[in-house]
Amino acid sequence: MTRHFTKDDDLTPAEQAEVLALAAELKRTRFTAEAPTPLAAPNGVPRSVAVLFDKPSTRTRVSFSVGVAELGGYPLVIDAGSSQLGRGEPVEDTTRVLDHQVAAIVWRTFGQDRLDAMASVSRVPVVNALTDLYHPCQILADLQTVIERKGSLAGRSLTYLGDGANNMAHSYLLGGATAGMHVRIGSPEEYQPDADVLKRAAEVAAETGGSVAWTADPAAAVDGADVLATDTWVSMGQEDEYDARIAPFLPYAVDEKAVARAADDAVVLHCLPAYRGKEIAAEVIDGPQSAVWDEAENRLHAQKALLVWLLERS
């Protein structure tokens, strides 16, 4: 059966560990004779991967394009606005057209239901490149970065401060729990994580020895954390709410005071793009504990690993 990656717990804990180990290996062997090119067909012709965008992107667009090329394939990058999907062609019809021609489909869109509809009919792996609900490829890159800095994931604490109801918060909950981490979300009451996601993450954590928690108290959320993460307070599609969304989040900024409350050697993460002086202070993102540039680079390695892993099972 074709495997998809529509949300973080589509990989079991053992599978997530395999993908992360492969990501480290692909990073180490990049551009060497050892680097695999599974997207090159036996006759040397590149197989294609469709990378579709219903929302803007820099990192995801670059890392999937570069990654597919490095695996010997051809990245077919399509902005939905210039496709029939953007004019209302049913997701299922577009999927059937694509899956007869490409080896995998990567999609950044709005509703998770659209991605799930694609996965339900696709004969090739479907990968979530961000929805309103999850951003699981980003979390793979973040976990790879934490392993690089800390050596391991299980048992470590990860605090996310900011919009607890957005895709990054939800993927930290599910992906962090899958890795056996202790995930704490600190957010305003009115921007809490989705109850079903929190419940599912708690179930996963119960299996892995991790834990998940939400609190409105930013200081309690951060206390002693090994990893301190944040994200924009205004996600794509929420631009009209900009003015209303800033004030409630001010106490949840990742500034020098927040970093001082975390563990001494805490790693600071931000998926980017970042808004200095809002969710993260310039001194923090540009400071010694920030790992954001490695985190951005690891999108490439983690996604290559994910594609290799999924294609081996398709």
Which residue positions form the known binding site for carbamoyl phosphate? Answer: 57-60, 84, 108, 135-138, 271-272, 299
Q: Determine whether 231 is an active site residue.
A: yes
Q: Measured between alpha carbons, how far is residue 213 from residues 118, 124, 133, 161, 210 in Å?
A: 32, 35, 18, 12, 10
Report the binding-site residues. 57-60, 84, 108, 135-138, 167, 231, 235-236, 271-272, 299
Partner interacting with residue 278 (select from ligand NVA, ligand CP, none; CB below 5-8 Å by kind): none
Selecting among 156, 170, 270, 299, the annotated active-site residue is: 299
Q: Where does this chain bind ligand CP (CB under 6 A)?
A: 57-60, 130, 138, 271-272
CB 181 within 8 Å of CB 158: yes
Partner interacting with residue 167 (select from ligand CP, ligand NVA, none; CB below 5-8 Å by kind): ligand NVA
Beta carbon nearer to ligand NVA, 226 or 231: 231
Cα-Cα-Cα-Cα torsion 286, 173, 141, 122, nearest 10 degrees, comes to: -140
Partner interacting with residue 145 (select from ligand NVA, ligand CP, none; CB below 5-8 Å by kind): none
HSE-up (13 A, CA, CB side) for residue 272: 19
Choice from 231, 249, 267, 278 touching ligand NVA (CB under 6 A): 231
Beta carbon nearer to ligand CP, 205 or 300: 300
By CB under 6 A, is residue 168 in contact with ligand NVA? yes
CB 129 within 8 Å of CB 64: yes
Selecting among 135, 182, 184, 245, the annotated active-site residue is: 135
How far is Cα 106 from Cα 108, in angstroms, rounded to an integer? 7
In the complex, what is the shortest distance from the CB of residue 138 to ligand NVA, in angstroms, rounded to a whole number?
7
Residues sharing a CB contact under 8 Å with residue 211, sequence separation 6 or more, in sequence order: 177, 182, 183, 202, 205
CB 76 within 8 Å of CB 105: no
What is the footprint of ligand NVA within residues 64-123 (CB under 6 A)?
none
Q: Determine whether 170 is an active site residue.
A: no
Selecting among 47, 108, 245, 270, the annotated active-site residue is: 108
CB 94 within 8 Å of CB 84: yes
Q: What is the CA radius of gyration of the chain?
A: 19
Partner interacting with residue 58 (select from ligand NVA, ligand CP, none; CB below 5-8 Å by kind): ligand CP
In the complex, what is the shortest distance from the CB of residue 95 to ligand CP, in angstroms, rounded to a whole number?
22
Report the binding-site residues for L-ornithine. 167, 231, 235-236
Residue type, 159: T
Residue type, 163: D
Selecting among 142, 271, 301, 303, the annotated active-site residue is: 271
Q: Determine whether 182 is an active site residue.
A: no
Q: Determine whether 294 is an active site residue.
A: no
How far is Cα 276 from Cα 296, in angstroms, rounded to an integer? 17
209 dihedral zone (left: phi>0; alpha: psi -120 to 50; beta): left
Residues that bind ligand NVA (CB under 6 A): 130, 135, 166-168, 231-232, 235-236, 271
Write out the catalytic residue numbers.
108, 135, 138, 231, 271, 299
